[in-house]
Chain A
Amino acid sequence: MPSIAKPIATHPTLQRNSLGLTIRDYEGSMSTLCAGCGHDSITAAVIRALWELDTEPHMVAKLSGIGCSSKTPTYFVSGAHGFNSAHGRMPAIATGAAAANRDLLYIGVSGDGDSLSIGLGQMCHAIRRNLRMAYILENNGVYGLTKGQFSASSDIGSKSKRGEPNRMAPIDPVRLGLALGATFVARSFSGDKEQLVPILKAAFTHRGFALVDVVSPCVTFNDHEGSTKSYKHTRKNTLRATQADFVPPQSEILAQITKSGTTAVTMHDGSVVNFTAVPKDYDPTDRRKVAAYLDDQPANAVVTGLLFIDPNAPDMHELSQSSPTPLRDLAYEKLCPGSAELERLQEEFR
C-alpha cells in the first residue's frame, strides 16, 4: 500500500540540540503542497533554524492566513500550537496572541496575496506596532489555490502560464517595510538555505517585527519561461547583497567572529548578526542608505540578504509599557479591584 507519510525512521547518527531534540522533532505533518513548491523548502529552513536555536517547540506559536503559504505551519513543529486564520487576518491574530503572552516566539507565515492584497493593511499595522514576530512572506507572485491569477507582487512583464503579461507595478514588501519603519527587513530565496537559515535565526531572535520576504517559486503556476518568480529566473538574477551569520549569545566564538565580520549587529538578547559580506559602504542599520542602495540596483535584480536591522527599537509591549509577566498569566486577584473598591468608586457616580 503506498504511503505519503514521512517515515519515522531517522539517521542513526542524527544530532541532538541542547534540548536533546533532533531536527525531526521540529517537523510537522507531511506537506500537501505541490511537489517542488518553494514553500516546502522554506518550511525546511524554519525547521532547521528552530532546531539550531534550541527552541522549545511548545514555546512557538505558528500563525498564518489563507493560501498555499498559509498551509505550511502544519508542516513544521507539531509540538507547537498553530493558528491557520482567515485570509489576510494573521497579523491581527498574532497581535492579540502576542498581547496575551509576550513570552512565545510568534512565527507568521503568509503569502503575497495574503500580505500584499487582502491583508496589506494588517501587515502594515503590525509593522507599525513593531509586533515581535517573524513574518515570513512566501512570495511566488501568483495565486496558487485559485489557479494562477497574478498577485500584487507580480512584476511588470512577467508572464502568466498562458502567456499573458502582467502590466501593473508590483508592491515590493522590502521597500514597503523599509518605508513603514520595519525594524528588520530581509529577502531571500527558497532555493538558498545557506542564506535563508541564518536570516530566519536572526528573525526569530529579533525583538520586533522581522519581515522576511522569500521568493518561493510556484512550480505549478509560475515556474515557466517568462515568469520572474521562477527558480531559473530567480537564480539568474539574484544579487546577494549581504551574507549574514547568526551567532547565539554566550558563544565562545562570539568575540572572535564579531571582529572578523564586515559589520556586526548585536541583537537585544546578546546574540550577534555578523555580516560577512556587504557591498562597499553598506550599513544594514542605516535605513536611508539601504533604501538608496536598493534604488541603485538594476530593475530585474532580486536583491537578497538581511538588508536592514534596527535591534533596539521598542516593540509593541515596550511601547505599551505592559507587564513583563505575560498578561494571560496574571493572577485574577491582581486584576480585580474587589468589592470594597467598587463601593468606593460608586461614590463618584452620584
Chain B
Amino acid sequence: MPQYIRLIAQGKYTEAYMVNRESNVFPAILGRTCDRPCEPACRRGRLDGAPVAICRLKRVAADLRGEISHLLPKIPKESNGKRVALIGAGPASLTVANDLRPLGYEVTIFEKQNKPGGLMRSNIPSFRLPERVLDEEVGVILDMGVEIRYNSPVTSLDALLKDGYDAVFVGTGAPRGKELDLPGRHDTPEDKPRIHIGIDWLESVAFGHIDKIGERVLIIGVGNTAMDCCRSSRRLGGKDIKVMARRPRGFFKASPWELDDAEEEGINIVINHAPKHFVVENGVLKGMQFERLEWDADAKKSRVIDEVFLPADDVILAIGQENAFPWIERDLGIEFDKWGMPAVDETTFQSTRPGVFFGGDAAWGPKNIIWAVAHGHQAAISVHNHCQGVPVTDRPRQGSSLISQKMGISEWSYHNDYNPSKRQKMQHVDLTKRFQQLNIEVELGFDPEQTAREVQRCLNCDIQTAFTENRCIECDACVDVCPVQCLTITRDGDEADLRTRLSAPAINLTQAIYASNPLPQTGRAMVKDEDVCVHCGLCAERCPTAAWDMQKFDLMIPYAGAPCTTSSVLA
C-alpha cells in the first residue's frame, strides 16, 4: 500500500493505479465504495487517531491516471483449450476472468441482468458510484475477450455442467434481502407495494424501474444498505426519512463515514427502536409500531420502555441479505449445510464437487467487494490448478524481499519526514445541487493539494527498521533520537518483563516487542516497540555503525499462473 501512496506522491498516478489494480482489480470503484478494512490497520491511526485516507487515495490514482491499455496483461490469441463458466457478472467472477484470460482460458460469464457489475451496479447508488466509472473498470476485463451472456440467469447448474465446461465458478452474490415477517407485512397490495426489500428496491432504482417514493420513509436496519436506501429515498422524493435502529450508536453495522454522509443529507437516525408491527389500514400503509428499548452498557441486553407509532408512506427493509441457490440441484455432489449454504473450502474455494468453485458473497454470505476480489484471485488459482491437473491444494507461496533504503548521509529513498497534517476531509457537492439528479456523484475526490497532504501522512510502514546486533556499540544515538521513544537498550528479559522497562509504555499488547540478541559490549538487548514507529529512519540515520538500517519489505502475492520467483519465496 505505501508503495502506491509513494507513487501518488511522486505524481505517478498511472503506475500507482497499476500497482493497485494488481491486487484489487477495481481501484476506481473501490476508491469510492470500499468498506476500508485496511484503514483500521493503518499505523497512522495509532499516532493521531486517523488512518491515512487510503481509499480516497485509490480514487485519486484512478481519477488522474493516464492510458493503461499497454500496461495490462497480454491476452494470448490462442485458447489454451480450457473453458470456464462464471456465474454472475459481479466482482468475484470478473476477478476470476481477469486472472484467467491472460492464461488463455475461454471464459463465459452468465448474467441475469442486461448489464455487468452485479451488486456493484444494482446495490450501490450512482451518486456514490457513477455508472461511467463502473462501466470503465468492468469494461477493461470484458475487453480481455470475455464472453458474457446477458439476461441469462442460470436456472440449472446440472444443465450448465453438461455443457462440458472444464470448471465452473459461482459468483452469484447474496441476492436475497432478508424478510421481516411482522404483522401487516403482506397487507399492502402486491402490485403497488409500499413495503420494500432494500436490495431489491435499490436494484429497481438502479435499473430505472423505480423513480419515486413517498415523503415519509422508514428504513429498517442501520447497515450500509440502509444508508444507500435512505440516501436514494432522499433523491426520489423522500422528505421525512428515518433510519430505525434497534441499538444505540456505536453498535451500527454501517461505516461511520456512511452515517456521516446520510446525516449530512438530513436523514434522521433513530436509535433504540425495535419494529413491532406494520400499521396498514384498508390496504394502505400508515406506518409502523415500534418498541422503545433501553440497553445495558455493551448493548447486549435490552428492556422495553414503551411503544410508539411512527407514520410512513413507505418502509424499506434493510436488515441483511441471504444467499439462495434454488438453481443448484442437490444431487450434483455439492454439499449444502442446514442453512442452505454450500460447503466451500476456505483456501481453495472449491465445493465438494471438484471443478465447481464458489467465491464472493456466494461462498460464505455477504461481505464486501474487496473480499469478493480476493476470493476471485484465489479461486482463479484453483481453477488454473484444476484445469492443469495440479491439486487445488497445491498453492503457490507468497514471496518477499528486504532492500536497504539508505542512499547516503541524510539520504533515503523515501520521504522519511513525518507530516503532522490531519486526515484530509472529502469535499462534497452542495446539498442543494446534489439532489437535482439521482446520479450526481456526491464526493468530489481529493483536490491536488489535499492529495499532496494526505500522501505525506503515510508512515511508509513497508520500510522497516532492521537491526544487526554485532555492529552495535551502544552509543545510545538511536535511543536518544527516536521521536516516539520506541527504542530501549536494557538487560534482556521475557516480553512481559521487557514491557515494564521501555523508554515509553508499550500500549498495544497485540504488537510484539522486538528484542535483539545480546549486544557485544554489555550483553544488554536492543528492544523496540514497533507499535508507534513512524519510520522516520533517524535511528538508522544517527547510527554510526549501520547497526540500524531501513529496509523496504515487499510482499509478493502470487496470482494464477504468476507464482513468485523462488529466491523471494517466504519460507
Instruction: Enumerate chain A interface residues (CB-CB to B < 8 A).
Output: 1-14, 23-24, 31, 34-38, 40-41, 43-44, 190-191, 193, 217, 219, 223, 231-232, 235
Contacts and interface: CB of A to CB of B under 8 A. Distances in A.
Interface stretch (B13-21, B99-107, B413-421): B413-421
20 contacts: A1-B417, A2-B410, A2-B415, A3-B536, A5-B417, A9-B47, A11-B485, A11-B532, A13-B507, A31-B542, A35-B541, A36-B473, A36-B475, A36-B543, A36-B545, A40-B476, A41-B475, A43-B480, A193-B476, A231-B475
A35 B532 contact: no
Given A2-B407, A2-B415, A36-B477, A8 B420 contact: yes
Q: Which 8 residue pairs spanning A and B have beta carbons closest together?
A: A36-B544, A7-B418, A3-B417, A44-B480, A41-B476, A36-B475, A2-B412, A9-B418
B509 to A, nearest CB: 13
Interface centre among A10, A38, A190 (most CB of B within 10 A): A10
Nearest to B543: A35
A112 B2 CA distance: 47
Contact of B544 (A2, A4, A35): A35
Interface string B100-139: 0000000000000000000000000000000000000000
B1 interface: no
A8 B266 CA distance: 39
Contacts of B507: 12-13
Interface string B364-404: 00000000000000000000000000000000000000000
Chain B interface main SS type? loop
Contacts of A13: 504-505, 507
Given A2-B407, A40-B481, 18 more contacts: A3-B416, A4-B538, A5-B417, A6-B481, A7-B484, A7-B536, A9-B47, A9-B534, A12-B46, A12-B47, A31-B481, A35-B542, A36-B475, A36-B543, A36-B544, A44-B476, A190-B476, A219-B544
B567 interface: no
Nearest to A8: B420
Interface in B500-544: 504-505, 507, 521-522, 532, 534, 536, 538, 541-544
A9 B484 contact: yes
Contacts of A43: 480
Given A1-B415, A11-B504, A41 B480 contact: yes
A14 B417 CA distance: 20
A41 B475 CA distance: 7
B411 interface: yes
A235 B476 contact: no
Interface string B539-558: 00111110000000000000
Interface residues of B, number: 39
Contact of A40 (B48, B414, B480, B522): B480
A51 to B, nearest CB: 12
Contacts of B473: 36, 219, 223, 231-232
Contacts of B483: 6-10, 24
A193 B480 CA distance: 11
B63 interface: no
Given A7-B534, A7-B536, A35 B477 contact: yes
A231 B416 CA distance: 30
A2 B541 CA distance: 11
Contacts of A6: 481, 483, 536, 538
A8 B544 CA distance: 23
B417 A37 contact: no
B356 to A, nearest CB: 50
Given A3-B416, A14-B504, A191-B474, A235 B544 contact: no
A5 B415 CA distance: 12
Nearest to A223: B473
Interface centre among A1, A7, A36 (most CB of B within 10 A): A7
Nearest to A41: B476
A331 to B, nearest CB: 44
A45 to B, nearest CB: 9
A31 B417 CA distance: 16
Contacts of A219: 473, 475, 544
Contacts of B417: 1, 3, 5, 7
